[in-house]
Chains A and B, each alone.
Chain A
Amino acid sequence: MAQLGMSFVSSIRVPDAVLVLFGGSAGTLAFRERNLRRKKIADMSDYIHRLETIIDANRTSSGLTQHGTTRPEDKI
């Protein structure tokens, strides 16, 4: 039975173009998802900042960019 399974798997031939298309689509999707998440962070961070400052006037910030990424000057 196991041999039959192995034989089936080894008989599968996926065209290279399909693999490239799949990889490219997955990468594009991941990239767009990440951009969407960063846009949402930018929207929410200002909101959270304002709300927290009402409670703690001396609130300190993490110092990241508005999108939640490393500041260019902090990149070592």
Chain B
Amino acid sequence: MSDIGPLLLTGLGLLSLWLVAYFGWRPYRIDKVRNELFDLRNDLFLYAAEGGVVFDDPAYRIQRDRLNALIRFAHIITVTRALIFMAAERYRPNERVQSIQQKYLVAVSNLSESAQVKMRYIYDRTATILAWQLVSGSPLLLIAAAIYLPLVAASKFLRRTPKESTGLIVARELRVELIEEQAMLAQTQQIDLEAFELAHP
């Protein structure tokens, strides 16, 4: 009977750890990634307000909608979902996803040189933020990154390849664009549903 005290205390400690992880750490990570995406959206808005790009330009609209969708569905940015999206894309490619990406690339190519640079920066920064969110949320990926990242750095140094950010390399490997497009699709579906509910109360 005298051993029940430490056992209860250990149980209480483990329960507290779970509470902190589930109700503290997890929502914090979602809020943090949303904050970073809001900063990017603000950066894009200020660039347009200063005349860098027209507010009605399709490139601006798609980029803003993409950021809005990611902010709204930031809670779906997990390794499990990334793997599901990768598998789904492999066996059943989504044409709508490819069409959104194609539209965006065409729209960006019609912009001025400086606006293209700005759009590319925002696009790349978004991908890097998503990649870090995926890696930092999984202990296994964190261990893999600790091994993989020094190798990438060494390879970049030895080959003297053009400077490509390590974050972008990781983003490409993790196919973060699939998460972006899935978030956009979910956002579009929700907007359509809300419009339908408004029209048919």
A interface residues with partner B (beta carbon < 8 Å): 16, 20, 23, 27, 30, 34, 52, 55-56, 58, 60-64, 68, 70-71, 73-76
Cα A75 to Cα B19 in complex, Å, equals 19
Nearest-Cβ distance from residue B14 to partner chain A, whole angstroms: 13
B3 to chain A, nearest CB (A): 15
A3 to chain B, nearest CB (A): 28
A56-B46 Cα distance, complex, nearest whole Å? 11
Kindly name the residue among A16, A20, A63, A75 whose own CB sees the greatest number of chain B CB atoms within 10 A. Answer: A63
Grouping DSSP codes into helix (H, G, I), strand (E, B) and loop, the B interface class, with mixed when no group exceeds half, is: helix
- Tell me if B71 and A64 are in contact (CB < 8 A): yes
Q: How far is the CB of A17 from chain B (nearest CB, A)?
A: 11
Q: Report the Cα distance A27→B12, complex, angstroms.
A: 14
Q: Taking beta carbons and an 8 Å cutoff, which residues of B are in contact with A?
A: 9, 12, 16, 19-20, 24, 27, 30-31, 34, 38, 41, 45, 48-49, 55-56, 61, 64-65, 67-68, 71-76, 186-187, 190
User: Is there an interface contact between A62 and B30, defined as CB atoms closer than 8 Å?
Assistant: no
How far does the alpha carbon of A76 sit from the alpha carbon of B27 in the complex, in Å?
Answer: 15
